[in-house]
Amino acid sequence: MSLQDIDWSAPWLAPYRAVGQAVAAQAHQGIAAALNAAASAPVQFVPQSALPPGEAYEHFIFHTRQCPSRDNLHDFFNGLCWQHFPQTKTRLNQLQAAQIAADGVQPLRGPVRDALTVFDENAAFLIAPPALWEALRAQDWRRLFVTLRPLWAQAQLLLFGHALLEKLVSPRKPITAHVYCAQAAINSVVNLDAIIAGQLSAAHLGSKPFLPLPVLGVPGWCADNAAPGFYADTQIFRPPRA
């Protein structure tokens, strides 16, 4: 898959569409240069070759304010996330660097760095009425997507994880986001980046504050989910564990 395969009409790409299309149009000069030219970010994007051999990626970003980027979809979406959620990305990098400073680079990341990676790669932010949150927490998929379907007109799911965005270039029913459970209810996209960044801590993320959500179940995100039977697939819409 390549940048040419991105369907910019996909509803989950709406927040990224304007800048993303501008970057994609300039990608012939390299992803790093195209990202730098399209919009500001708290880091400068540099070619992957700028990362010294043996140096941890997050450590390098923290100390140089440079983000090594390869010419691929994964790093393209990572750059877009830096541009759209600069405070959240900066906070994640600070937390990663602090863990590396405390423990070094270990063969196994540990619970905090694992949670940081899950957040960075696969998180999503849900702004929704309480009833939708209750159904999501219960993993009551029929209630969430069928019974309460009209409530989704009052909801918004924003994808943050760049690996999640990359996977959705080729949409498949099993693709699942880790919905971030904020410490306090978030009712608007206004100041969302600052609010999320202000909540993130090693202790909070170490508790794994995520809920699974198969993203193609979101009303309007897949034509097939207009039929209630779409959600009967228990391999995807799994019942909660006993």
pLDDT, tens digit, for every residue of 114-144?
A: 999 999 999 999 999 999 999 999 999 999 9
Predicted pLDDT at 122: 98
Residue 67 belongs to what H/E stretch?
A: strand 66-69
Which residues face 211 on adjacent strands? 179
Segment 45-55 mean pLDDT: 96
Segment 93-121 mean pLDDT: 84
Predicted pLDDT at 106: 61
pTM of the model: 0.95
86 pLDDT above the threshold of 70? yes
Beta strands 123-127 and 156-159, pairing class: antiparallel
Residue % of the chain over a pLDDT of 90? 85
With a CB cutoff of 8 Å and minimum separation 6, the contacts of 62 are 93, 94, 96, 97
**What's the DSSP call for residue 55?**
-
User: Does residue 217 or residue 39 have the better pLDDT?
Assistant: 217
Segment 18-28 mean pLDDT: 95
Closest CA relative to residue 145, chosen from 132, 127, 164, 130: 132
On the CB side of 97, CA atoms within 13 Å amount to: 15
Task: Tell me the pLDDT of the chain averaged across its residues.
Answer: 94
Predicted confidence (pLDDT) per residue in 180-214, tens digit: 998 777 888 889 999 999 999 999 998 999 999 99
User: Does residue 185 or residue 82 have the better pLDDT?
Assistant: 82
Distance of alpha carbon 160 from alpha carbon 167, whole angstroms: 13
What six digits make up the tokens of 50? Answer: 């700028």
Predicted pLDDT at 103: 72
Q: Where does the pLDDT of residue 239 fall: very low under 50, low under 70, confident under 90, or very high at 90 and above?
A: confident
With a CB cutoff of 8 Å and minimum separation 6, the contacts of 205 are 95, 112, 115, 116, 119
Query: What sign does the CA torsion over 26, 32, 33, 37 have?
Result: positive
100 pLDDT above the threshold of 90? no
Residue 211 belongs to what H/E stretch?
A: strand 210-214
Predicted pLDDT at 206: 87
170 pLDDT above the threshold of 80? yes
108 pLDDT above the threshold of 60? no
Distance of CA 47 to the CA centre of its chain: 22
Residue % of the chain over a pLDDT of 70? 97
Q: Where does the pLDDT of residue 107 fall: very low under 50, low under 70, confident under 90, or very high at 90 and above?
A: low
